[in-house]
Amino acid sequence: MHNYENGGAGQLPGEALTGAIQVEKYGPAMDLALHQAALSAQLGEVPVGAVVINDDGEVISQGRNRREELNDPTAHAEILALRSAGAQLGTSHLEGCTLVVTLEPCAMCAGAMLLARLKRVVFAAWEPKTGACGSQRDLVRDVRATHRLEVLAGLRQRQAQVLLEDFFAQRR
């Protein structure tokens, strides 16, 4: 069973999302991401939801896991939210934007976030097996990369954990 309470094997200072200002700023977007994750679970998909917001906190796009529905291994919530944001803004460069997601992104999604030139990623639960934003790998803050993202973790962590644990418990 996944331990979604992982503090991050490669945890760097400043990762923990603390303070009322941060929660106030990103909480509404995380609530939307959690709603998308719950919808994914209802439809038989791994419950992950993602939202792209601008610097003012305005929602640009939302996404949920749709791998099984689309028969597409790349149809992760993050990828779909980034694609939609690019279409909405008319650019592949999402500078100044933040991706808010219920689970730490994998390597594929971290790579897409770097290519999109996001400002930051905010996630709820750590992904101890495939996480690429601090737990197993830290691709988004690698000093060799031409772009790096700010990482904030732990917002609504318990809610995301419960969705994931319930989903996988029903399948075992």
Instruction: Encode burial over 105-140: b for 16+ CB neighbours within 10 A, e otherwise.
Output: bbebbbbbbbebbbbbbbbbbbbbebbbbbbbbbbb
**Residue 76 is labelled as binding a ligand:** yes
**Residue 2 is labelled as binding a ligand:** no
Rounded Cα distance, 65 and 77, in Å: 4
- What residue type is assigned to position 161 of the chain? Q
Rounded Cα distance, 27 and 50, in Å: 13
**Catalytic site includes residue 24:** no
**Residue 133 is labelled as binding a ligand:** no
Rounded Cα distance, 116 and 86, in Å: 8
| Active-site option among 15, 78, 104, 127 | 78
* CB contact at 8 A, 127 and 104: yes
- What residue type is assigned to position 2 of the chain? H
Rounded Cα distance, 47 and 24, in Å: 23
Which residues are annotated binding-site positions for Zn(2+)?
A: 76, 106, 109
Residues known to be catalytic:
78
Residue positions in the annotated binding site?
76, 106, 109
